[in-house]
Chain A
Amino acid sequence: MATELIAGREITVDEEGFFADPSQWSEDMAEELAKAIGIDELTEDHWKVIRFLRKDFEETGETATIRRVSTMTGISTKQLYQLFPKKPAKKMAYIAGLPKPTGCV
Chain B
Amino acid sequence: MKRLLVLGAGTAGTMVVNKMSHHLDPNEWEITIVDQEETHYYQPGFLFIPFGIYGRNDVIKPRRDYIPTGVDLIVSEIELIEPENNRVKIAKGDRWLDYDYLVIATGTHPRLDETPGLVDEDGKIPDNVHTFYTLDGAVRLEKFLRKWEGGKLVLNIMEMPFKCPVAPLEFIFLADWWFTEQGIRDKVDLTFVTPLPGAFTKPIAARELGGILEEKNISLVTDFMAERVDPDRNTLVAFDEEEVPYDVLVTVPVNMGADVIGRSGLGDELNHVPVDKHTFVHAKYPNIFALGDAAALPTSKAGSVAHFAVETWTENFLRYIDGLDMKEAFDGHANCFIESGFGKGLLIDFNYDTEPLPGKYPLPGVGPFSLLRESEMNHWGKMLFRWMYWNILLKGKEMPVTSYMTMAGKWS
Contacts and interface: CB of A to CB of B under 8 A. Distances in A.
Contacts of A80: 239
B273 to A, nearest CB: 14
Nearest to A87: B223
Contacts of A102: 298
Contacts of A105: 161, 165, 201-202, 298-300, 334, 350
Given A77-B239, A104-B201, A105-B202, A66 B225 contact: yes
Contacts, number: 42
Contacts of B159: 67
B227 interface: yes
Given A68-B268, A68-B269, A87-B223, A103 B201 contact: yes
Interface in B209-246: 223, 225, 227, 239-240
Interface string A3-32: 000000000000000000000000000000
Interface in A50-99: 60, 62, 65-68, 71-72, 77-78, 80-81, 85-87
Nearest to A80: B239
B240 A104 contact: no
A67 B240 contact: no
Contacts of A62: 298
B160 interface: yes
B278 to A, nearest CB: 13
Contact of A103 (B196, B239, B270): B196
Given A68-B269, A104-B298, A77 B227 contact: yes
B155 to A, nearest CB: 18
B240 A103 contact: no
Interface residues of A, number: 19
A78 B300 CA distance: 27
A56 to B, nearest CB: 11
B197 interface: yes
A26 to B, nearest CB: 28
B160 A104 contact: yes
Nearest to B299: A105
Nearest to B300: A105
A86 to B, nearest CB: 6
B295 to A, nearest CB: 12
B269 A71 contact: yes
A31 B334 CA distance: 41
A67 B334 contact: no
A18 to B, nearest CB: 14
Contacts of B223: 87
Nearest to B202: A105
A62 B298 CA distance: 10
Interface in B393-409: none
Interface string B162-206: 000100000000000000000000000000000011000110000
Interface string B271-289: 0001000000000000000
Given A60-B274, A66-B225, A104-B160, 17 more contacts: A62-B298, A67-B269, A68-B269, A72-B269, A77-B225, A77-B239, A78-B227, A78-B239, A81-B225, A85-B240, A86-B240, A87-B223, A103-B201, A105-B161, A105-B201, A105-B202, A105-B299
30 contacts: A62-B298, A65-B160, A66-B225, A67-B159, A68-B268, A68-B269, A71-B269, A72-B269, A78-B227, A78-B239, A80-B239, A81-B225, A81-B239, A81-B240, A87-B223, A103-B160, A103-B201, A104-B160, A104-B161, A104-B201, A104-B298, A105-B161, A105-B165, A105-B201, A105-B202, A105-B298, A105-B299, A105-B300, A105-B334, A105-B350
Interface of A: 60, 62, 65-68, 71-72, 77-78, 80-81, 85-87, 102-105
9 A-B pairs with the lowest CB-CB distances in the bound complex, closest first:
A104-B161, A71-B269, A81-B239, A105-B201, A103-B201, A104-B160, A105-B300, A68-B269, A103-B196
